[in-house]
Each structure stands twice: as structure tokens, then as C-alpha cells.
Structure 1
Amino acid sequence: MQIKKIAIIGLGALGVMYAEHFSKHLPANALRIIADEERIERYKKEGFFSNERRCQFSYVTPEEEMTPADLVLITVKFNGLAEALEAVRNQVGEHTIIMSAINGITSEELISEVYGKERVLYCVAQGMDAVKEGNRLTYANKGVLCFGEEVMTEPTKNVQAVARFFDSVAFPYEIDQNMRKRQWGKFMLNVGVNQTVAVYQTNYEGVQVDGKVRDTMIAAMKEVKALSEHTDTPLDDSDLKYWLNCLNQLHPQGKPSMRQDFEAKRYCEVELFSGTVLKLASRFGVETPINQMLYDQIAEIELQYT
């Protein structure tokens, strides 16, 4: 299989960053941004800017009928996943591959329920420090997209097809043979970084240096590690060290998505992070006081929106 047409839904920080990259390496009609008519009208009027350069995107509505895309990349927030899955229906054909860059550990399962597991590759975006304010995106590190089957001994046909495509457009990626464990590791990092940076109103630098803020982040991450010991993909201290090292590579002035949500007074993905932790803690009988504290603090902050 050769990937020639790609569809992206969700123009948050990741969506804009990835769409901009692909737009520089593909013919105009090979990249489709899926959005409703109202959004498309606004997008065309206001435009998008990435590191001060205006992006050139082609848009299609969910209702338009066309040849299916070879690759669908979902970059919406988790609470927009159900709507996105319906919106990309006309983009999904017999051989379409679907990848989700959504945070958390559940989106692939939800996508598989709608379109079949055979179409879905597991995916984790890591190492980026993109910040999107309004229609303007800034970043220093694009990071990599790690992908693969849930667990595999060698790359499958779909994995090989995506790798060839990414090579052809100079897109940074890694192939992982145990994506389920990679997702749990990224989940551990997000639970710590996103929530701690948001609650303490800081940036990556605030959790890169020793002190109370970093200690809180690590404590939240260790609670996730404790939960993972009750699954088939347990994390250990080497995983914690790996993800903390990934954090150290990010631009100190960058901010994760939850912090950006708070600044814009948007409701965040707390249910995806500490909300999930608390549910799993109840199921496994694990104490998670730091995540409970973060969950309560985030709820208090959001109450102040009204």
C-alpha cells in the first residue's frame, strides 16, 4: 500500500503543526483538513500562522463525498473524539489507516469499536513544545510521532506503509514494538506535567527544576506507575527516568495543553488524566492522593470561569 492522501481532523497545536509540515511536502489536493462549514469559513478568514508563517490548508466538510484518504490523523481533544469519528466517515475506505494523537490510553479502543481494529495503529506524540494561542502556533521542538501496532514482533504492512510515507515527507517518527506500554508511559508523563503545570500556573521550566512543583509532578507520575503494575504493561523506575528525560528536552518557556486551556478559560481534559487515575485507583485499590488533590484543584479553577 502507498499512502498518497491524508486527512486531518482537529486544528489544535498538534493538528496545525502536523498539517503545516505535510502541506510543505504534498500536493495541495493530497492533504485534507476536515471541518464543518462554520469552522472552514472562520479558518479561511482568520488563517493559521505557524512560527509567524501563514499556513496554506485545503478544507473539506464531513458531508463531501470523495475518494477515501489513505491515512486519517485524529488530533482533536478527547471530548471531541465521538464527533470526529462521525465527521471522518467519508474519509475512511477499505484500506484506510487511522491514527490518533489524542492523549490518554483509550482512544484507539474507541476508534476500533467504530471502524475496526485492523485499521487502527496506536500512536503517541512526544517531545513537542508547541503552544497555540488563537490562530497562532509557536514551537521550538516538533518532537516525534511514535506508532505501531498495540504489540508486535515486527512491523506490519500498515506500519511499513506509514513509515514509508513519513520518510517520503521527512516527518519525524519512531516505530515502537510495544505501543501499549509507550502509551502508559506518556499517560504517566501527561498526568504529572499537564496537571501540575496548570495548577501551579507555571511552564515547563517550573517542573524541570527541583522544588515543590517538580516534586508534585513526580509524585503524580509515581501513582500512575503504581496503577500500571496491575496491568499487562507495568512501568518501572527506568520508564519514569526515560519520561523525565523527555521532559528535560522541552523548551523551558513552553506550556502543555492544560495550561493553555486554563489561560483561555476552556474546560480541560482533567477526566482524561486524574479522572482516569481515580477510576483505576478505585478498581485496583491503589491510593492516589496527589491525583485527587490535582483533580480537586482543577475543578476549583474551572468553577471560577463563570
Structure 2
Amino acid sequence: MEIKTVSIIGLGALGILFGHHLSKIMPKENLRFIADRDRINKYEKEHVYCNGEKCDFNFVSPEEKSEPADLLIFTVKYDGLKDAIGAVKNHVGDQTIILSALNGITSETIIGETYGMEKLLYCVAQGMDAVKVGNRLTYENMGMLCFGDREPGKVSERAKTVANFFDKTEFPYVLDLDMVKRLWGKFMTNVGVNQTVAVYKSNYGEIQKQGRAREMMIAAMREVMALSEKEGIVITEEDLNYWLSVLSKLSPEGKPSMAQDVDAQRFSEVDLFAGTVIALGQKHGVPTPVNQELYDRIKMIESQY
């Protein structure tokens, strides 16, 4: 199989970032952005910009008849996942490969309940420092997609197909042989950096330097480390240092998505991050005081919108 058609749902930071790259290489009709009619009208009127360049995207509504995509990428926020699963039905066929770039550790399972786990490769987006304000996205580091099979050590034909496509489109990626651990590592990082920067109403620079914010971030990450062992996915000090090194390369002026939500007075993914940690802590009898503090502080910020 060869990937010739790609559909993307979700035109937030990741959707614009990945879509803009692919749109420079793929035929316009082969790259489809799924959005409801109101959003399409808004995008066509106000346009979408990536690093100052107007994006030339091919928008389709969920109702439009469409040939199934060879590759379908979810880049919505977690609270939009349920609607997105329904919206992509005309783009899913027997051979469709699905990647989910959502935060958290559950989106693949949720999508798989509708379309079958055999269509999904596990996926993590990392290393980007994109900031989206209104209809304009700016970034210094594009980052990459890390993907692979759920079973450690396995490389399926579907994974090879996606790797070949990314090679041809010069799309940065890593084909990972232990994706469940990668998912937990990214979850740990999001729990730390997203929530801490949001609480401090700052940027990556705040947690790249020594100080209270960085200490809080690492303490929140260590709570995830303790829970990972209980879940049978052991995150080590070496893993922690790896993810800290990833963070160190981001633009100091960039911001994670939750901090951007706070700036825009949007409700955040705190339930996906601290909420999940607190629930797992209760399940395993593991204290999670740092995440409880982050949860409470972010909920307080949101209550003042």
C-alpha cells in the first residue's frame, strides 16, 4: 500500500503545522481538512496563516461524499474527540491508517472503539513550540510525530507504509518500538509543563531555568512516574531526563497549549492531565499533592473567566 490521500481533522496548532507542511508537497485535492460548514466559511473569509504565510487548504465538510483516506490524522482537542470521530466517517475505509496526535493516553482506544484498533498506530507529537493566536500560527521548531505499533518490538506493514510516506514528504518522524512507554512519557511531560506554565501564566523559558516553576513541573512529572510503575509502564530517571532535554530545545518565548488556553480564557485540558493523575492516584493509593494543587489552581483561574 502507498499513501496518496490524507485527511486531517482539527485546525488548531498541530493541524495547521502539519497541514501546512504537507500542502507544499501534496496535490491540493489529495489533502483534505475536515471541518463543519461554519468553520469552513470562517477559514475562507479570514484565512489561516502559518509563520506569516497564507495557507492554501482544501476544506471539506463531514457531510460531503469522499473517498476514504489512506491516512487520517486527528489533531483536535480532547473535548472535541467525540464529535470528530463522527465527522470523519466518510474518510474511513478498510485500508485507512489512523494516527491520533491528541494529548493523553486514551485517544487511540476511544477512536478504536468506533473504527477498530487494527486501523490505529499509536502516536505522539513532540518537540514543537507552535503558538496559535486567532487564525495565525507561529513556530520555530516543527517537532515531529513519533508513531508505531502497540506491541513492543513490532513493526507492521502499516507502520512501514506511514514511514515511507513521511520519508517522501520530508515529514519529521520517529518510528518507535515502544509506543506505550512513549505515550506515558509524553503524558508525564504534558502534566508537568502544560499545567505549570499555565499556572504561572508564562512560557517555556519559565520552566527552562532553575526556580520554583521548574521544581513544580518536575514534581508533577515524578507523580506520573510513580503511577506508571503501578500501571506496568515503568518511566525511569533516564526517561525524565530525556523529556527535560526535549523541553530545553523549545523556543523560550513559546507556550504549551494549556497556557495558550488560559491566555485566551478558554477552558483547558486540566481534567485530562491532573484529573487523570488524581484518579489514578486514588486507584492505586498513591499521593498526588502537586497535581491536586495544579488542578485546583487551574480550576480557580477558569472560574474567573
State the TM bucket, normalised to the shorter chain.
over 0.9
Question: What is the CA deviation profile of residues 57-92 of structure 1, one whole-angstrom value per residue up to 9, with x for unaligned ones?
Answer: 001110111211000000000000000000000000
Distance 1:268 1:39 in 2: 21
Aligned residue in 2 for 1:56: 56
Listed one character per residue, the Cα deviations across residues 18-60 of structure 1 (whole Å, up to 9, x for unaligned) are: 0000100000101000001111000000001110010000011
1:121 offset after TM fit, Å?
A: 0.6
Partner residue in 1 for 2:143? 143
Shift of 1:231: 1.4
Q: Distance in 1 between matches of 2:82 and 2:139?
A: 28
Distance in 2 (alpha carbons) for counterparts of 1:240 and 1:154: 24
Of stretches 23-32 and 144-153 in structure 1, the one that deviates more from structure 2 is 144-153
TM-score (norm 2): 0.99
| 1:209-240 CA-partner distances (Å, limit 9, x unpaired) | 00111000000000000000101211011111
Residue 245 of structure 2 aligns to which amino acid in structure 1? N
Q: Which residue of 2 aligns with 1:176?
A: 176
1:197 equivalent in structure 2: 197
Indicate whether 1:153 and 2:136 are aligned.
no
For residues 196 and 119 of structure 1, what CA distance do their matches in structure 2 show? Answer: 35
- Offset of residue 109 of structure 1: 0.5
Task: Give the superposition deviation at 1:251.
Answer: 0.5
C-alpha distance in 1 between matches for 2:245 and 2:50 = 27
Residue identity matched to 1:190: N
CA distance in structure 2 between the partners assigned to 1:207 and 1:253 by the alignment: 11
Aligned to 1:163: 163
2:244 maps to amino acid:
L
Give the aligned partner of residue 67 of structure 2: 67
Task: Give 1:288 shift.
Answer: 0.5
Structure 1 gaps, min length 5: none
Which one-letter code corresponds to 1:42 in the other structure?
K
Secondary structure of 1:229 counterpart: helix
Query: What does residue 11 of structure 2 align with?
Result: 11
Cα distance, 1:153 vs structure 2: 2.1
Matches within 5 A, 1:1-306: 1-305=1-305
Q: Give the counterpart letter for 1:296 in structure 2.
A: D
CA distance in 2, matches of 1:304, 1:42: 28
State the 1:150 CA deviation.
1.1
Distance 2:272 2:118 in 1: 25
For residue 150 of structure 2, what is the amino acid of its counterpart?
E
Listed as ranges, the gaps of 5+ residues in structure 2 are none
Query: Quick one: distance in 1 between partners of 2:66 and 2:302?
Result: 41
**How many residue pairs end up in the alignment?**
305
In angstroms, what is the RMSD of aligned CA positions? Answer: 0.6
Partner of 2:80, secondary structure, is: helix
Runs of 4+ in structure 1 deviating by more than 3 angstroms, as ranges, are none
Query: Counterpart of 2:88 in structure 1: which amino acid?
Result: V
Q: What CA distance in whole angstroms lies between the structure 2 residues aligned with 1:178 and 1:236?
A: 14
Q: Distance in 2 between matches of 1:240 and 1:151?
A: 22
In the alignment, the residues of structure 1 paired with residue 131 and residue 104 of structure 2 have an alpha-carbon distance, to the nearest angstrom, of 19
Q: Percent identity?
A: 56
